[in-house]
Amino acid sequence: MIRGQRDNHYNSILSSLSRYYELPDEESGSTAGVMRLKSKSITSVGNRDFIYVREGLCALISDIQHEAQHSESYKSDDVLKLHYRLQGSSGVALGIGDIIESVQPMACGMLLQPAGTQKTEHFAANSKELSITLFCSPGLLEELTADGEVLLPQPIIDMVKRHAFDYFSMGFPMPPDILSASRRLFDIGGAGTLHAIQMQAGCLDLLWKMLRQVAVLTGSGPRSKPRKHDLERVVAVCDLLDKDLSSSPTIPALAKSVGWNETQLTQTFRDVMGMTVYEYRHRAAMDFAISLLTESEVPITQIAYEVGYQYPSNFSTAFKKEFGVTPAAARKRISLDACSN
């Protein structure tokens, strides 16, 4: 799709970004919803990928090396920004004032500011930035919170209801489930339609995890905050699952490995990650399978074994259920996308 076919939310944010980043020409537009932006400044090396996720939701995936100290200033729109910083730090100022807060690595947060006000972000020299920003429109937030399952802080509710609102921000260290979902977006390889689908799904997953976490932190969520030791155990379980996808460790084996009670493991893992241990392992296996299909010529039968399937036919069935196409069809599509580019 070309730019004119997107919604106003998308076009407004893209217009702001064009002050500092070169956009693809109107003819080529974006590749299946993912637009790669190049910095206009020689002080910033790398890419920012701008993604149309769905109506009212866009994402900016940044992998930038800031060679010299510099700043970027943007005027706010009616939008809630959710930010996830994996690496690098920066300072944020409103208007032409001094820095009022810092953005630290391994942290995430949300920012709301009145429309038309200016935000400036200051980057230090020789700093590497890995970050994700989601831009959510009031209409999308209203839709997502309509059933009452997620309750937002009052300033955001005011924005959704089109009431007057003031500057609002909150930040916190990344919980394991958000960290895992953020890392996954940087691990998705390839290009074209299948790549875009994975990126869009990952952004939606990250949005939902963030809204749930904010509900917990503001006291409106359905669960209590896990203890630090329990979070560390959840991270350890994720590492064990990610380390060897060709095996399928049982819950008793995982519990023994991290010194945990089986019931506590399953309940706390679901609370923190928003999914069961099996669901997490399945998603990790499908993500790894996609990367192998995209970035290698490993036979599909071998890929099935490497992600824990004894029978390739079972792998094909699970893959098609996850992505809507068979592994063979996905590889063919990836090949066609590569040729067209």
Is the Cβ–Cβ distance between 288 and 245 less than 8 Å? yes
- State pLDDT tens for residues 44-75: 888 889 999 988 999 999 999 988 888 888 88
Q: What is the DSSP string of 54-100?
A: ETTEEEEEEEEEE-S-EEEEEE--S-EEEEEEEE--EEEEETTS-EE
Say which residues have a Cβ less than 8 Å from residue 201's Cβ, sequence separation at least 6.
none
Q: Report the pLDDT value the prediction gives residue 28, as an integer from 0 to 100.
A: 46
Among the residues of the chain, which ranges form H helices?
Answer: 8-17, 138-144, 154-160, 176-187, 193-217, 228-243, 251-258, 262-273, 277-295, 300-306, 312-323, 327-340
Quote the pLDDT of residue 160. 81
pLDDT digits (tens, 9 = 90+) for 132-187: 999 998 888 888 777 666 677 777 888 888 777 778 888 888 888 888 889 888 88
Predicted local distance difference test score (pLDDT) of residue 184: 86
pLDDT along the chain (341 residues), means of 10: 56 86 64 79 85 91 89 84 91 68 86 83 88 92 74 79 78 85 84 81 89 74 64 88 87 91 85 81 86 85 92 90 83 62 51
Q: How far apart are CA 283 and CA 281, in angstroms?
A: 5
In contact, 52 and 58? CB cutoff 8 Å:
yes
**pTM to 2 decimal places:** 0.66
Cα distances from 51 to residues 13, 115, 236, in angstroms, run 11, 22, 31
In degrees rounded to 5, what are phi and psi of residue 298? -60, 130
How far is the C-alpha of 333 from the C-alpha of 330, rounded, in Å?
A: 5
Specify the pLDDT at position 280.
86
CB proximity list for 44: less than 8 A, separation 6 or greater: 64, 65, 66, 67, 70, 123
Q: What is the pLDDT of residue 313?
A: 92
Write out the H or E segment, with its range, that includes residue 38: strand 34-39
Which tokens sit at 297?
């010529």
In contact, 77 and 12? CB cutoff 8 Å: yes
**What whole-number distance in Å separates Cα of residue 82 and Cα of residue 140?**
14
CA separation for the pair 119, 96 (Å, rounded) = 8
Residue 149 corresponds to which tokens in the numbers above? 């399952």
Helices (H), 296-326: 300-306, 312-323
Strand order across the beta sheet in which 118-123 lies: 70-75, 118-123, 90-94, 99-103
Tokens standing for 91?
């300072």
Kindly report each contact of residues 160-164 with a partner whose C-beta sits within 8 Å and lies 24 or more positions away, as own/partner: 162/138
Residue 54's beta-bridge partner residues?
A: 57
